[in-house]
Structure 1
Amino acid sequence: MDEQWRADLARWGIPDEIVARAPASPWEHSPARFAERTDRALADPEGPTLARVAEALPAGGSVLDVGAGTGAASLPLAGSLGELIAVDSSAAMLAELTSRADRLGVPTRIIRGRWPDVAAETPAADVAIAAHVVYNVPDLAAFLTELSGHARRRVVLELTERHPMSWLNPLWEHFHGLVRPERPTAHDVIAVAEALGHEVHQERRLAPLTRFTTLEELGESACRRLCLGRDRAEEVIAAAVELDMWPVPRDRWFTLWWESE
């Protein structure tokens, strides 16, 4: 299963000749945009992922947040947290997380790097969480094995049902003649975890927020992801409307969890 996952994920790569013409990296994420999502989660903490972490977290317990970003999946639990161990490869994301953790009074240990590369230097926690990370992980079995090995009570994953860039598929074909893959999906993550011997529980819901609130936001994001200049935003917007892509349907999110052995 893990080799199939790796092969399916590799097909999401962008051809070198398209990347070479890109005015900006199609893979970068905005710390400011992530921070806005974290602030919304702090203002209105809800959803099955937080609930599954909270019910396994003892008072004053610890959470390991892998691919933590700015802390949307863990900081809303500030009232119950004795320690947050945050792992991420982005210094800018971790800086946003740290500033919010300080304001909330959450003791935080920061580990910069990719998981599972930094697993050996990362302490165990009561609950380990990885939210919206797995579609960036080629070696999923190793990722999950180390995550489980660092969780004393429970592992929780949050992810979209399909690859998070799937919404762009019609635009990739329109502008580049490139047909994007259909897999991997959340069901493949479940299969890999079960093959590792975990009894996986799941809960599904619609994403709590729409992806974009305006066509201008869509155009700006799509240009970067499609390796197009920002000067083509109006063209991208027109194509999205013509292809009946607006409003962008909300993703379906999966919360997966299993108990540590």
Structure 2
Amino acid sequence: MDEQWRADLAGWGIPEEIAAKAPVDPWGYSPARFAERTDRALADPEGPTLTRVAEALPRGGSVLDVGAGSGAASLPLAANLGELIAVDPSAAMLAELTSRAARLGVPTRIVNGRWPDVAAETPVADVAVAAHVVYNVPDLSGFLTELSAHARRRVVLELTERHPMSWLNPLWQHFHGITRPARPTVHDVIATAEALGHEVRHERRLAPLTRFADLDELAESACRRLCLGRDRADEVIATVIELDMWPVPRDQWFTLWWESM
């Protein structure tokens, strides 16, 4: 199962000859955009992931947020948080989280690194959460095993039903002649967790927001992800319209959770 997950995930890599021509990093991200998502979550805390973390969190308890970003999956619980342990490989993301945690009065311990590489230096918490992380994890069993070992009460995951870059599949075929894989999916994550002995429960919902506000925003993202120059944005928009890809359907989000053993 682990080998299949690793192979399926590797299928989402960008061929070297295409990546070499990319004008910007196709895997890049904007800390500011993640911070906007966190601010929306703070203004309107909702959804099954926060609910499942909150119901297992004792008042004044601790949360381990792995792949924390700027804290969207944990900081909205500030009123009940005694400590937030935030793990992320991006110092810029953690800086966004730290500034918000300070304003909310949440004691925060920062671990700058990739999970599970930094598991040995990370404290155990009452609840562990990892939101929109697992599709970046080649060793899924190792990731989940260490996550469970660091949670006294519950583990909560949030992820899209399919790989989050799946919306680009028709464009990869059009611009590069590449057919993207159909896996892995959330069902592979559930199967892996169950194989580790966990009784996994899950809840599905539509993503709370559309992926893009307008076609210009879509084109900017697509050009970066497809390793195309910004000068091809109009071509991307025309192709999206021709292929009937607009508006981009909202993703299906899943919340998975299990109790610590």
Over the residues paired in the alignment, what is the CA RMSD in angstroms? 0.4
Task: Return the TM-score normalized by structure 2.
Answer: 0.99
The aligned counterpart of 1:257 is: 257
| 2:110 is the alignment partner of 1:110 | yes
| 2:231 is the alignment partner of 1:231 | yes
Measure the CA separation in 1 of the matches of 2:76 and 2:259: 22
Q: Secondary structure at the match of 1:157?
A: strand
The aligned counterpart of 1:191 is: 191
Measure the CA separation in 2 of the matches of 1:185 and 1:46: 24
The aligned counterpart of 1:214 is: 214
Structure 2: any 5+ residue segments left out of the alignment?
none
1:93 shift after superposition: 0.5
Structure 2: which amino acid aligns with 1:220? E
Measure the CA separation in 1 of the matches of 2:76 and 2:237: 35
The aligned counterpart of 1:205 is: 205
Structure 1: any 5+ residue segments left out of the alignment?
none
The aligned counterpart of 1:149 is: 149
The aligned counterpart of 2:18 is: 18
The aligned counterpart of 2:99 is: 99
The aligned counterpart of 1:120 is: 120
Q: Secondary structure at the match of 1:159?
A: strand
The aligned counterpart of 1:180 is: 180
Measure the CA separation in 2 of the matches of 1:237 and 1:111: 40
| 2:28 is the alignment partner of 1:38 | no
Measure the CA separation in 1 of the matches of 2:196 and 2:218: 38
Measure the CA separation in 2 of the matches of 1:61 and 1:234: 50
1:174 shift after superposition: 0.5
Q: Secondary structure at the match of 2:179?
A: coil
Deviations 1:159-208 (A, max 9, x none): 00000000000000010001000000000000000000000000000000
Measure the CA separation in 2 of the matches of 1:118 and 1:211: 31
The aligned counterpart of 2:165 is: 165
Measure the CA separation in 2 of the matches of 1:231 and 1:41: 34
1:28 shift after superposition: 1.0
Segments ≥4 residues shifted beyond 6 Å: none
1:73 shift after superposition: 0.4
Measure the CA separation in 2 of the matches of 1:32 and 1:196: 36
1:55 shift after superposition: 0.1
Deviations 1:202-253 (A, max 9, x none): 0000000000011010000000000011111111111111111100000000
1:60 shift after superposition: 0.2
1:2 shift after superposition: 1.3
Aligned residues: 261
The aligned counterpart of 2:131 is: 131
Measure the CA separation in 2 of the matches of 1:230 and 1:96: 28
